[in-house]
Amino acid sequence: ESAAAAVLANPVYRALSDSLGGAQAYMALQRLYELTQHGDYDVVFVDTPPAAHAGELLSAPMRLGALIETGAASVLANPAILVARAGSAVARAGIAVLLGALERLTGSALRAQVAEFVVHFEQVLRGLSQRAGTVEAMLRRPDTAFVQVVRPRMADVQAAARLRASLAERGIQVGAVVVNRLTPPPGDDRTVPRKVRLAGAPPGTLEAVGVIESELDSLRAAEATAVRALRASLWQQEGGAETLVSEVASLEHDVADRRDLEAIARALFGPHPDHYKHRAADAAAS
């Protein structure tokens, strides 16, 4: 804790903290560690970033370990190490001249602040790395399930396959896939001829509705192709093993209340009167 306090108080940290890449990923893992160490919760859900950034979060433990192994912190704390590591006398002399010039430009006070920051930060870094390693091992346990949410578009399906491959390299398996925001199927009245359905409508309505329905049909066909590609990819990646795939249609509006959550639950798990029904009084109070 004293090392962490020293890091937070250091002016070098305050100057760099806003631009440190991946800091949120490290902190998310630390929070997950805290939530799972005391047995206060039966289940912990983690909503990861989209596929483009989920890899950054899940690779944070590996990056922390690599940073410690490089010894970069020791070099920053004492740049003279670079001189000792140089292979030739010419290289050592060149590095010494460069370090001397940097100190003249920045001042010895800044170098002292950097050295102090790095010494304390290395202690914090080792603690973070140990905790992150614990979380990484937890992610591989049989009682941990990774559920992937995918949009029914070919580009998203391909990105999801790349993420699953990356997870598999880390020993993390995807337990289920949710295909989210599918275009809903046409209504029951679609079987009725359009001229009958739209009898008496203003001029041009028949043609406009025809264009809309045609575009929706094309969209559904494209989504169906993407879902087939997803299932084929899962079958290939899992070596023929069956992976649970659930499909959820788009709602007419954003998820805003318990009814919306129940609609999604029914799509995922099917109707369950004991869990998803509630009285009108409860609905009015929510």
Lowest mean pLDDT among 5-9, 170-174, 226-230: 5-9
Lowest mean pLDDT among 69-78, 126-135, 205-214: 69-78
244, 149 contact by CB (below 8 A): no
> 115: pLDDT confidence band, cut at 50, 70 and 90?
low
* Cβ atoms < 10 Å from Cβ of 173: 18
Higher pLDDT, 28 or 71: 28
Mean per-residue pLDDT for 268-286? 51
Looking at every residue in the chain, the average pLDDT score rounds to 72
Q: Structural domain boundaries of the chain?
A: 1-142, 145-250
pLDDT attached to residue 142: 86
Does residue 275 register a pLDDT over 90? Answer: no
pLDDT attached to residue 263: 84
Mean per-residue pLDDT for 7-35? 60
Amino acid at 48: T
Running DSSP on this structure, what letter comes out for residue 17? Answer: G
pLDDT attached to residue 222: 96
Give 145-250's CATH code, choosing from 3.40.50.1220, 3.40.50.300, 3.30.230.10, 3.90.850.10: 3.40.50.300
Q: Token pair of 90, please?
A: 């010419």
Determine which helix (DSSP H) or strand (DSSP E) holds 108, and give its type and residue range.
helix 108-139
Residue 158 CA from chain centroid, whole number: 16
Summarised one tens digit per residue, pLDDT across range 131-143 is: 777 888 888 888 8
Give CA–CA dist 159/150, Å, rounded.
Answer: 9
- DSSP H helices, 199-246, are 205-237
Torsion from C-alpha of 227, 232, 237, 242, nearest 10 degrees: 90
Give CA–CA dist 255/236, Å, rounded.
Answer: 34
Determine which helix (DSSP H) or strand (DSSP E) holds 114, and give its type and residue range.
helix 108-139
